[in-house]
């Protein structure tokens, strides 16, 4: 995926700095450094507004991968969704289907984003 300029990503992240309404971003950080992000969004795929809400913006910096940060961010978003009485989440991925499957997500079906094929996935959230 093409890397967006940092100022565009920072601007988008600022729109997610909410606590009481969607979108909401979670940021993993240590020692003043951002390690990764994930978000809970009302919609994340144009044309599929029937599916809501979405896990989106899952990103972990390349130096911090394979340390469980991405899984922890996804779990934090899931916990945030549960606390808001949300019973299922959706996501779109171009190429991380196997990784999300290991976290309990199932494929709903294929979908195209900017002429690139991927899949929409779903995860029912168990209430505790």
Q: Where do the domains of the chain lie, and which CATH numbers do they carry?
A: 6-124 (3.40.630.30)
Structure tokens, 114: 């900017």
Residues whose CB is less than 8 angstroms from the CB of residue 118 and which lie 6 or more positions away in sequence, other chains included: 92, 93, 94, 95, 110, 111, 112
What pLDDT score was predicted for residue 19? 63
Per-residue pLDDT for 74 more than 90?
Answer: yes
Q: Which helix (H) or strand (E) holds 39?
A: strand 33-41
Residue 114 DSSP SS3:
coil
126/20: higher pLDDT:
126
CA 80 – CA 97 distance, rounded (Å): 22
Residue range 102-119: mean pLDDT, rounded: 94
Q: Which three-class secondary structure state does DSSP give residue 68?
A: coil
Q: What is the pLDDT of residue 20?
A: 73
Average pLDDT for 65-80: 97
How is 30-81 classified by DSSP, letter by letter? ETTEEEEEEEEES--STT-TTS--EEEEEEE-GGG-SSSHHHHHHHHHHHHH
Tens-digit pLDDT profile for residues 11-59: 555 655 556 767 999 999 999 888 999 999 998 878 889 999 999 999 9
DSSP 3-state of 20: coil
pLDDT at 6: 44
- The pLDDT score that the predictor gives to residue 14 is 60
Per-residue pLDDT, 55: 97
Contact (Cβ atoms closer than 8 angstroms) between residue 100 and residue 93: yes
E strand or H helix at 27, and its extent?
strand 24-30
State the average pLDDT over residues 61-71.
95
Lowest-confidence pick of 4-8, 14-18, 58-62, 98-102: 4-8
């Amino acid at each position: 995926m093409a890397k967006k300029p940092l100022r565009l990503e920072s601007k988008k992240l600022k729109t997610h700095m909410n606590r009481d309404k969607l979108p909401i971003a979670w940021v993993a950080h240590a020692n003043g450094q951002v390690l990764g992000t994930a978000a809970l969004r009302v919609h994340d795929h144009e044309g599929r507004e029937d599916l809501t809400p979405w896990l989106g913006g899952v990103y972990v910096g390349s130096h911090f991968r394979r340390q469980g940060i991405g899984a922890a961010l996804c779990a934090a978003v899931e916990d945030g969704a549960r606390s808001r009485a949300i019973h299922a989440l959706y996501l779109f991925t171009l190429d991380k289907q196997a990784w999300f499957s290991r976290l309990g997500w199932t494929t709903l079906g294929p979908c195209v984003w900017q002429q690139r094929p991927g899949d929409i996935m779903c995860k029912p959230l168990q209430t505790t």
